[in-house]
Amino acid sequence: AQPGAVKPVAAPMRDLTWGQLNFLHTTDTHAWLSGHFLEPSFSADWGDYISFSQHMRKLADDKGADLLLIDTGDRIEGSGIYDGSVPKGIYQYDIYAQQKVDLLSTGNHELYKAYSIDMEHNTTVPNFKENYIASNLDYIDPKTGKRVPQAQRYRKFKTKNLGLNIVAFGFLFDFTGNANNSIVQPVADTIKEDWFQAAIKEKPDLFVVIGHVGVRMQEFKDIFTAIRKEDWDTPIAFFGGHLHIRDAVSYDSKSLAIASGRYLETIGWMSIDGIAKKQPKEDDDEQVAAQKGISFSRKYIDNNLYGMYYHTGLNETTFPTKEGRKASQMIEDARKALDLDHRYGCAPRDLWMTRAPYPGKDSIYSWLEEEVLPSVVVNEDRKDKPRLAILNTGGIRFDIFKGPFTRDDTFTVSPFNSGFRYVADVPYEIAAKVIGILNSQAKIFVHGLPNTRQLTIPQQMYPRPNFDEETETVEDGQDGVELGGFGKEGPEIDEVVQDDENEEEVRLELRGDDGSSDNGELFGGYTTKDDIGKDGDDTVHKPIDFYAVPNCIQAEVGFSADEKPKAVDLVFIDFLLPWIIPALKFSGGDYSAKDVEPYMEGTLTTKLAEWISDNWKDEC
Ligand SMILES: Nc1ccn([C@@H]2O[C@H](COP(=O)(O)O)[C@@H](O)[C@H]2O)c(=O)n1
């Protein structure tokens, strides 16, 4: 762990189930390679993960089993180690590459900017060579202008110890916000292509589908269905991400999909046992399939040293490896070079994204609406004009904890280079309708309006089944999609271990009071329910309450107390541009992109840092 990070807290643990083939999975790390300084559950850093995975590989070797490491993208944007350098990522790519990842794919965050697409092509792909898979992603070579695969389309390989034949794919969901030096091909089109159709006829011992795709999203359903059409029997392991949640879905009795959270909070674990190694028939090339008694198991490992020692049987002295220590040192050096611990001020209280009700005094969104935006959204030439300032909640990426607020925290809260734009002098009754449309959950049809689910935080983009209900009824998705696995039959899985302890509903902070649980009480943390059951988390926690947030929030700035203005400047964060004009049109305003201008200098991130320096001056 990094110097200054809190120590992990002892807690009741659940063991990992080993199989023939085992996987460690990270996703949506968003450059949190330092780990979490203030949360004992997640305070291990990338170097610790390297040590952990090396010991786990050794354990696999000792058992005559195999272990593969997977990463499903969104490795960048979200923490100072990436966002704090100019250009971005000058330390991050190298530190990340210290880990030996066996299969990796691209997330949407690698694609928002032409720069990060180039970096992926010229740095991460060469760093990981044949381990990098890009089944539906192409790169436009700037020298030739030619479209080439970002990496190989799929990978065929044999595992080290058991010699299992694997065919692996690496997908990205049907993302459309990519910069124009990349092309994301829709999954439904990709799976019709000859190379994919040939690959799924390979009859390996196992298919591994990794992807920056939520495990309940249509894209994985389409891939699963396409494989099963061709091959009804071969087991399939899916590794997904994007939605920042822990989740597992059993598509049929010979497949399992897991999603392993976000921000290096979670290291996903999947194991598979009973994989039948296919032998070629002597008389022809066809291979014999004999999958009987296949079993899958999954765990969500809290990323801390207590758990890593527990799962490896090691301790403070025996655990760190040379390679792990090296990566931790690289992180420490990068943090110093980037001045990430520089203190802008002291947060007087915790401010939560979803662990406090919105609106409310502990909501980060209410704080932004009531305190920050009215003060920072100012254009000197138009400061007397009343304005509405709109932010999408998805642009805010992490909580603020009471105590020192550092340069690193500015990036964990607001990593994007988003500035502010505006449409001038919009009649108030038109401008005031925009927020309602952005928060409409796509229940009304607005011509030209992109899906509003993209505006909110990832955890809310695709609602999950309500696991508390006995029936298979699910919460309504934004498009009325049916959730709860892909079939109607519910989970079909051979190995299901239920653990119903810890049902008490108590709200506790994830951080714990003082970093200890000496009184033997459980402390707050993830208590995941998925298609497999309630025993997925490796650490037994007390539950934490989470609260819903809207897609967007809005501050009224420069309004008189007595009456609403006749016209306002409609100010919004850059990311909202594709939504604003259609929403204004629907509200009765005949505006076009030509009416949009930059509103002021600076980004949300720089304005946040300024506000905090000016307003949180007390010592801590
Ligand atoms: N410049 C940006 C980029 C992204 N967002 C928000 O993040 C969401 C995607 O998050 P994932 O980590 O799940 O990929 C996106 O839909 C936006 O809500 C943003 O606000 N500004």
Of ligand 1's atoms, which has the minimum distance to the CA of residue 262?
12
Highest mean pLDDT among 277-291, 427-441, 492-506: 427-441
- Which amino acid would we find at residue 136? N
CA of 332 to the centre of ligand 1 (A): 28
pLDDT at 72 over 60: yes
Burial (CB count within 10 angstroms: exposed 0-12, middle 13-18, buried 19+), residue 368: buried
The mean pLDDT value for 216-236 works out to 98
- Checking DSSP bridges between strand 387-392 and strand 552-557, what pairing results, if any? antiparallel
Q: Cα(213)–Cα(225) distance, rounded to whole angstroms?
A: 15
Query: For residue 180, what are the contacts with CB-CB under 8 A and spacing of at least 6?
Result: 114, 140
| Pocket mutation for ligand 1, best pick of 452, 454, 457, 579 (most atoms within 8 Å of C-beta) | 454
CA of 394 to the centre of ligand 1 (A): 6
Q: Quick one: CA dihedral 398, 399, 400, 402, positive or negative?
A: negative
Q: Is the CB of 392 under 6 A from ligand 1?
A: yes
Contact at 8 Å (CB) between 119 and 93?
A: yes
Mean pLDDT check: name the lowest of 67-81, 270-284, 407-421: 270-284
Query: Helices in 359-440 by DSSP H: which ranges?
Result: 364-367, 373-376, 407-413, 428-438
Residue nearest to atom 1 of ligand 1 (CA): 416
Q: Is the CB of 108 under 6 A from ligand 1?
A: yes
For residue 100, how many other CB atoms are within 10 A of its CB?
13
The mean pLDDT value for 441-470 works out to 87
| Pocket mutation for ligand 1, best pick of 215, 245, 416 (most atoms within 8 Å of C-beta) | 416
Contact at 8 Å (CB) between 53 and 312?
A: no
pLDDT band at 291 (very low <50, low <70, confident <90, very high): low
Contact at 8 Å (CB) between 133 and 108?
A: no
Give the dihedral of Cα atoms 310, 131, 66, 292; nearest 10 deg. Answer: 120
132: phi then psi, degrees, rounded to nearest 5: -85, 125
Among the listed residues 452, 344, 395, 329, the one whose alpha carbon sits nearest the alpha carbon of residue 573:
395
- Which amino acid would we find at residue 35? G
Among the listed residues 373, 381, 385, the one whose alpha carbon sits nearest the alpha carbon of residue 558:
385
pLDDT at 615 over 90: yes
pLDDT band at 513 (very low <50, low <70, confident <90, very high): very low
Identify the three-state secondary structure at position 433.
helix
- Which amino acid would we find at residue 167? V
What's the full length of the chain, in residues? 620
pLDDT band at 549 (very low <50, low <70, confident <90, very high): very high
Strands of the 137-140 sheet, one edge to the other = 147-149, 137-140, 182-184
Residue nearest to atom 9 of ligand 1 (CA): 458
pLDDT at 97 over 80: yes
Contact at 8 Å (CB) between 303 and 27?
A: no
For residue 508, how many other CB atoms are within 10 A of its CB?
17
For residue 35, how many other CB atoms are within 10 A of its CB?
27
Q: Cα(216)–Cα(485) distance, rounded to whole angstroms?
A: 6
pLDDT at 288 over 90: no
pLDDT band at 503 (very low <50, low <70, confident <90, very high): very low
Q: Cα(524)–Cα(547) distance, rounded to whole angstroms?
A: 16
Q: Cα(524)–Cα(550) distance, rounded to whole angstroms?
A: 25
Query: For residue 464, what are the contacts with CB-CB under 8 A and spacing of at least 6?
Result: 216, 245, 247, 474, 475, 483
CA of 341 to the centre of ligand 1 (A): 25
CA of 602 to the centre of ligand 1 (A): 19
CA of 269 to the centre of ligand 1 (A): 26
* ipTM of predicted assembly, 2 dp: 0.99
Third-level CATH fold of 342-457+549-615: 5'-nucleotidase;  domain 2 (3.90.780)
Mean pLDDT check: name the lowest of 112-121, 290-299, 571-580: 290-299
Contact at 8 Å (CB) between 481 and 489?
A: no
pLDDT at 496 over 60: no
Of ligand 1's atoms, which has the minimum distance to the CA of residue 244?
13
| Pocket mutation for ligand 1, best pick of 575, 579, 580 (most atoms within 8 Å of C-beta) | 575
Domains in the chain: boundaries: 342-457+549-615
pLDDT at 502 over 60: no
Contact at 8 Å (CB) between 264 and 492?
A: no
Q: Cα(582)–Cα(591) distance, rounded to whole angstroms?
A: 9
pLDDT at 614 over 90: yes
pLDDT at 511 over 70: no
Angle, helices 46-63/305-312, rounded to nearest 10 degrees: 10
pLDDT band at 445 (very low <50, low <70, confident <90, very high): confident
- Cis preceding-peptide flag for 463 (omega within 30 of 0): no
For residue 493, the model assigns a pLDDT of 23
Identify the three-state secondary structure at position 594.
helix
pLDDT band at 281 (very low <50, low <70, confident <90, very high): low
Q: Cα(102)–Cα(129) distance, rounded to whole angstroms?
A: 10
94: phi then psi, degrees, rounded to nearest 5: -70, -40
The mean pLDDT value for 67-82 works out to 98
Q: Tens digits of per-residue pLDDT, 145-164?
A: 999 999 999 999 999 999 99
The mean pLDDT value for 458-479 works out to 64
Among the listed residues 420, 410, 457, 440, the one whose alpha carbon sits nearest the alpha carbon of residue 582:
440
- Please state, for a pLDDT cut of 70, what percent of the chain lies above it: 89
